[in-house]
Amino acid sequence: MILIPLLELLSYIAFSFVAGHLVFRFVRKEEAAIRTPRSDVLAAAASAALVTSGPVINLVSLHGAQDGYGQALGQVLFQFTAGRVWIGIFILAITVWVLLYFDKLPVLTLLLFLGMLFLHVYGGHTERDLMGAFAYFIHVSAAVFWVGVLIHVCFYAPKYFSWESFLKWFTPFAILLVITVTASGIVVMLFAMDIRDYGNALMLTYGQMLFVKHIVFIPVLVFAVINGFLAKKAQRDPGFRPINWIRAQAVLLAIVFICTAILNTSAPPDNIKSALSNEGSALIFGSIFPKVTAESVATWHLSGLGVVCFIGFGLFLASIVYFFKKRAAASFALAAAFAASGLLYTAIMTSLQF
């Protein structure tokens, strides 16, 4: 069902939008802050209450065919953990919406927003223990605040925005979030799967999306490093506008969000044989390795094509920094990021044997 991963993606966007707005409410320098139209922020807060209903819709669709959808909805909302959690999200979303409408109590609004986010993470992954859910909450929180700031900058930065003042606080903020996203992501992965099964997990949609997420995140890290140079460049040149470089980074992070939404609604790789029996292999994996079965075991064997692709990956990754130094258009760097990610994917997939 494509609706469930789509709702998951929309929930990340809605949470990111509200998170970015909350961050800018705490920015003290007026010239480095962004005033997003209140109607847009309120729409994002309201939509968060709706698009987080994916787990509820999924359960209702499973039970409704037998018991009737009306009865199934009542059962899911009041008897299932996912349903009760969504009611909590809905109540918190209304409260956050009211606080945003009156533009009052920013600290309380932030705390309630984090409560919404935690409930969404926990409600969509009730099979995880509390520690696993908390690790994923940290991971998602860091991501939505990072992406949220970028969204507001990309779409609402005024013509006379002070990039120097903005980058002065955003660069260390982004570095902290990058470290948090990376560290918590490793913890979440260790909770979700045995790291020794990473190769075998590539048979599944979950494993493929996790892999694509990882390889796209590598160029994201390069762009994050460039943020530091953007700050210095803006300090030297007050007329410098790094908006296109920030947009390029936002595009890559959007792909990371898409992968996350799909893998979060796919069978986890804790039991690969069972997941293969229930869902089958990932579409792209099945086209590359049509003879793979649940009994297959992945082994690594670096191929000649893999070596070439690894070299190409390194060159294109380095070219991102080269384009920045040569003051080329950010679109060239973004194209290089896509090429690097594609080459790394090809290098790994051609070096797998089953």
Are 169 and 32 spatial neighbours (Cβ–Cβ below 8 Å)?
yes
Q: How confident is the model at residue 181 (pLDDT cuts 50, 70, 90)?
A: very high
Return mean pLDDT, the chain: 86
Candidates 13, 11, 134, 225; CA nearest to 217 is 225
Interval 99-110: pLDDT, tens: 999 988 999 999
User: How far, in Å, CA of 76 to CA of 314, rounded?
Assistant: 49
Tell whether the model's pLDDT for residue 235 goes beyond 70. no
Q: How confident is the model at residue 275 (pLDDT cuts 50, 70, 90)?
A: confident
Candidates 205, 214, 144; CA nearest to 182 is 214
User: How far, in Å, CA of 214 to CA of 220, rounded?
Assistant: 10
Amino acid identity, position 285: F
End-to-end CA distance of the chain: 30
Q: How confident is the model at residue 316 (pLDDT cuts 50, 70, 90)?
A: very high
Average pLDDT (67-94) is 86
Question: CA distances (Å), 299 to each of 195, 219, 354, in order?
Answer: 14, 26, 6
What is the pTM for the complete model shown?
0.89
Predicted pLDDT at 238: 64
Q: How confident is the model at residue 189 (pLDDT cuts 50, 70, 90)?
A: confident
Are 28 and 168 spatial neighbours (Cβ–Cβ below 8 Å)?
no
Please count the CA atoms within 13 angstroms of the CA of 258 that sit on its side-chain side.
9
Pairwise pLDDT comparison (78 vs 219), residue with the higher score: 219
Predicted pLDDT at 291: 75
Question: CA distances (Å), 266 to each of 82, 103, 194, 313, in order?
Answer: 17, 38, 17, 28
Tell whether the model's pLDDT for residue 270 goes beyond 70. yes
